[in-house]
Amino acid sequence: MSINVLNRRVRTLTLLTMAVSLGLFGCSDNDNFNGNIDDDTSDSTYAADIQRTEFGIPHITAKNYKGLGYGVGYAFAEDNICSLAREIVIAKGESMRYLGDKGDIDSDVFYTWYNSDAKRKQFLDAQEPEVLDAVAGYAAGYSRYLRDKGVKNIEDPACAGAEWVREITTDDLLALYGKANLRGGLSNFVTPIATAAPTVEKGIMGSSRMRTLSIEPENDLSPESAADLSSGFDFDMTTINVTDGGSNAYAFGSEVTGTKSGILYGNPHEPWDGLQRFYEFHLTLPGKLDVMGAGQQGQPFPNIGFNKDVAWSHTVSKHLE
């Protein structure tokens, strides 16, 4: 294993002028590789070069998709390791075990159920090999940073020395993706789903958090008691974020901008913190890929971005059009 770091502050004149350059190498089988990304390294080797501009944006160059993911995972861990580590704990259904008073038993039950082996296999089977390589690389890069830094040496007090900050695998990222996919849907019903219980005739069956009316309540159940039980079903749909969520994107051609180029404005309305927080980076696979943009944490590719030919964004809406 070899890492070469150049800490040198330089005046930023262009986008690719570098303030910090990091050559990052590692192997999936061992840590004895020593070289650079221009070498004829095997497919089992993770290798990436990370250059950061004055604003800290990582520009990652690699010879394959494993290397791209490796670089993004390492750079993201450098900048946001506590955020991603916490989200993985929640997505794996381990918040009560590791987060104490900040844990949630309903959340743990729900995500343990949802992120099943079958669900993860379904996701894996739907992906292209390049995507799977990048995801595996991301997990390896994140874990490599943690080995290099050490949990006790993390600067962010939110997770420095925490037991729940640990190396991750592709399986951890799949759980994370499963959680992210539910933001506008089932994630809003975590407690009702986790605490739901079937109705039974002539009896009450339910949890301490959600009580369920029987089909035929006992004769001695007063109207007041029945009303109290039924109140557990009141659910304010205005609390569902998807009902008032949204985003927008505007594309302007050169006839409007007054230049030779168009402009794409994206405003995705995603949160500043948590799983949907965006992270900006630049990926280069010489001769194949050159793209810059922002991706949500844990993801090795930009969700919104641009290359030399086209820019793209995405929006959500409660209306079907």
Structure tokens of 64?
Answer: 């394959």
Which pLDDT score is estimated for 237? 55
- Three-state DSSP class for 42? coil
> In angstroms, how far is CA 289 from the centroid of its own chain?
22
What is each CA distance from 214 to 1, 82, 313, in whole angstroms? 64, 45, 49
The percentage of the chain sitting over the pLDDT mark of 70, rounded to a whole number, equals 69
* Mean pLDDT, residues 12-34 taken together: 40
Q: 181 pLDDT exceeds 70?
A: yes
User: Is 247 annotated in the active site?
Assistant: yes
Which pLDDT score is estimated for 317? 60
Mean pLDDT of the chain: 78
Which pLDDT score is estimated for 270? 77
Q: Which of 13, 17, 7, 23 is nearest to 53 (CA)?
A: 17
Q: How many CA atoms lie within 13 A of 161 on its CB side?
A: 2
Structure tokens of 98?
Answer: 């590791």
The whole-angstrom separation of Cα 295 and Cα 55 is: 17
Among 56-60, 271-275, 303-307, the least confident range = 271-275
Which domains does the chain carry? Answer: 3-185 (1.10.439.10), 187-239 (no CATH)
Q: 124 pLDDT exceeds 80?
A: yes
Q: 127 pLDDT exceeds 90?
A: yes
Among 22-36, 76-90, 122-136, 195-209, the least confident range = 22-36
Q: Which of 207, 231, 247, 254 is catalytic?
A: 247
Classify residue 267 by its DSSP letter.
E
Which pLDDT score is estimated for 191? 86
Structure tokens of 99?
Answer: 């987060």
